[in-house]
Structure 1
Amino acid sequence: MYYVAIGDSFTEGLGDELPDGSVRGWADLVAAGLAATSDQPVHYANLAVRGRLLAPVVSDQLEAALALSPAPTLLTLNGGGNDMMRPGCDVDRLVGLTEQAVLRCADAGVRLVLLSGADPTARLPFGSMMHRSGVALTAAVAELAARHDVLFVDAFSDEELRRPEYWSPDRLHLGPPGHRRVAGLVLAALGQPGAAHVVDPGPDEIRRLRTEARYYREHVLPWALRRVLRRSSGHGRTGKHLDWVEVTAGPSVRQGEPSR
């Protein structure tokens, strides 16, 4: 199997940092999960880059994914979250871009899995506006997937994932438990055994003034500054696995020479 993931920070794995500073994330865990149940080698690439809008994901990343040699047999696509964080988000345009990707994968004979990103909006500034766009985009992509007979994994509507225990301190990206749960949802949709990860309930979140002030200083203000400077968090970055790497059954991808 040759599995490639494309998208933004959600697919790159931001929030699921390893001790060496690299990021893992749900796509890495899906690759490892597939390897655990396969009697054939599993090869994996991840072209996702934080901060990317959907248009370059569908144009640049998708074309690079389909150009890999050997060609991918499975591709996961998520995008649109960064578009929804900008004023004047055009949901219809995002749906059109997604359909473009669906048709391109169909033409290439590559199995596609569409994902909606998890919903962080309850704990974000101006989250209600993003939530409305997210609901509309999720419903439209679900309809699109059904119409084209494409597998769709709806993480946005997963109530369990909205609990704060699943999120990183920036409240925008999933933490390790959240990435584990999304991986479980994807593997279950692909027919793999096992249940999606669930964390034990913690104490009710208390959002004190000092905590909120620190959150705005450490996370919201840097994001706002990047918007003013029109500088993406992914500026100058490339995907973490631009070519195939062999995956072994376990918690992460084996780093080493690209596989062929």
Structure 2
Amino acid sequence: MEDDSTSITGGVIGSYAAVGDSFTEGVGDPGPGGTFIGWADRLAVLLSDQRPEQDDFRYANLAVRGRLLDRIVAEQVPRAKELGPDLVTFCAGGNDILRPGSDPDDVAERFEAAVADLTGGAVGTVMVCTGFDTRGVPVLRHLRGKIATYTAHVRAIADRYDCPVLDLWSLRSVQDRRAWDSDRLRLSPDGHTRVALRAAQVLGLSVPADPDQPWPPVPQRGSAEVRRDNVQWAREYLVPWIGRRLRGVSSGDHVEPKRPDLLPLR
């Protein structure tokens, strides 16, 4: 039987390794036993479903929450090369861009060096991810210019190395509040699902739903209610987040990758 699970470049995808931080680990999309699912796990399911023999599909998720680009490059990129999968998704640099004083041009140079390393022949297709458009996110909207600059760099790097792009900036559906977890820093389960669907589209797969389909309408909230929510969010999430960064503490300091090996998905 012919296998129709193919990448954007036409090669068969029988194995997939995800590289990155909390976004790729799946934080915000809770699973059983305190684990997380996330868009990469959901993409792996979609890839597996395209194969006639689903049990032969293998998947690794090397991502760890809180990781900065240099640590991702030092720890996860060599492991991805060692595993040698048909597909790698490389989403990194976002935590660096959010740090005060960071230079998106410098981060992009280091990101490009890692892309050059990954595309040197050890793995198959390398899909890279842009940043999200943060115009509707309190506090983070002020970093929109830096994020846009980094996103432009990522797209240019993808062009130079012939990488498919998971363009999160243009995914309008994730600009809705319901696409985000209560901390407004990580995606909700619905948000992760929509990103997985878009990633599958980028790879040329048929998907069961449109990732950009409109959300159901909700009642309009008053400005006073919005302000109260913003204040509560700042106290519960923003202040502790800033405090961790000032102390040099990461949420992933004692976290290991959830799927360090290429194993059958099912």
Equivalent position of 1:8 in the other structure: 21
CA distance in 2, matches of 1:14, 1:189: 23
* Residue 40 (structure 2) pairs with residue 27 (structure 1): yes
73-82 or 151-160: bigger deviation: 151-160
Q: Unpaired runs of 5+ in structure 2? A: 1-13
CA 1:205/1:47 → structure 2, altered by over 3 Å: closer, same or farther? farther
CA 1:201/1:79 → structure 2, altered by over 3 Å: closer, same or farther? farther
State the secondary structure of the residue aligned to 2:254. coil
C-alpha deviation, 1:179, in angstroms: 0.4
C-alpha deviation, 1:122, in angstroms: 2.1
**Matched residue type, 2:77:** L
CA distance in 2, matches of 1:171, 1:154: 19
Equivalent position of 2:5 in the other structure: none
CA distance in 2, matches of 1:65, 1:80: 17
C-alpha deviation, 1:203, in angstroms: 2.8
CA distance in 2, matches of 1:192, 1:82: 30
* Selected match of 1:112 from 126, 145, 150: 126
- How big is each residue's C-alpha offset from its partner over 1:108-147, in whole Å with a ceiling of 9 and x where there is no partner? 342100012433452232x233211111111111111112
* Selected match of 1:48 from 63, 73, 85: 63
CA contact (8 A) 1:120 1:172 kept: no
Equivalent residue pairs, number:
245
Equivalent position of 2:255 in the other structure: 237
State the secondary structure of the residue aligned to 2:239. helix
Equivalent position of 2:174 in the other structure: 161
TM superposition score normalised by structure 1: 0.88
CA distance in 1, matches of 2:114, 2:210: 27
CA distance in 2, matches of 1:20, 1:99: 36
CA 1:86/1:205 → structure 2, altered by over 3 Å: closer, same or farther? farther
Q: Unpaired runs of 5+ in structure 1? A: 249-260
* Selected match of 1:227 from 241, 245, 254: 245
TM superposition score normalised by structure 2: 0.86
CA distance in 2, matches of 1:167, 1:10: 11
- How big is each residue's C-alpha offset from its partner over 1:55-101, in whole Å with a ceiling of 9 and x where there is no partner? 11122210112122xx2111000011111111111111221122112
